[in-house]
Amino acid sequence: EKSHAIANHNNLINSGQRGNWPIVISTWDFVDAVEIAYDTIVKTNDSLEAVVSGCSFCEYNPQFCGFSVGYGAKPDSVGEVTLDALVMYGPSHTAGAVGQLREIKNAIGVARAVMEHTTHTLLVGESATEFALQMGFKRTSLDSP
């Protein structure tokens, strides 16, 4: 059975459209996340939203992404699960990132908020967590699901 992403891709090609059509590339074999990102870019034509939606899927569903991304992932050097994320947006030449984010599952969302709502590029540790809380992200355990 074809995935939605492949089916959508084939529909674009078969419709006779030439030139620019969306492509989603992933380093890892996280098929569900790639399909979500692809479906998002087809529906919204917003590449930033597509990247954030695909990454968010892995953050909330680590079992589909090898437990290497999101809550329940590998702990840091002191045994605590913390998250890092970076997002860059080419058209505006902007970026936002968080490091050692604690108790917030949606690290890519916080990175996007850093990019869109601050003059900073990177927030780390307690500063990242406090910023996330101020932006309305919910505090929650990052322990294994």
- As a whole number of angstroms, the distance between CA 98 and CA 96 comes to 7
Q: Which letter does DSSP use for residue 124 in this model?
A: E
Structure tokens at 57: 């899927």
Q: Quick one: average pLDDT of 96-106? A: 97
Q: Quick one: average pLDDT of 32-40? A: 95
Angle between helices 47-60 and 31-44 (to 10 degrees): 150
pLDDT digits (tens, 9 = 90+) for 6-34: 445 555 555 555 667 788 888 888 999 99
pLDDT digits (tens, 9 = 90+) for 64-92: 988 888 888 888 889 899 999 999 999 99
Q: Distance between terminal CA atoms of the chain?
A: 29
Which pLDDT does position 11 carry in this prediction? 55
- Does the pTM of the predicted model rise above 0.95? no
The residues, any chain, with a CB within 8 Å of residue 77's CB and separated by 6 or more, are none
The β-bridge partners of 89 are 94
* DSSP string across 39-96: HHHHHH--HHHHHHHHHHHHHH-GGGTTTSSSTT----TTS---EEEEEEEGGGTEEE
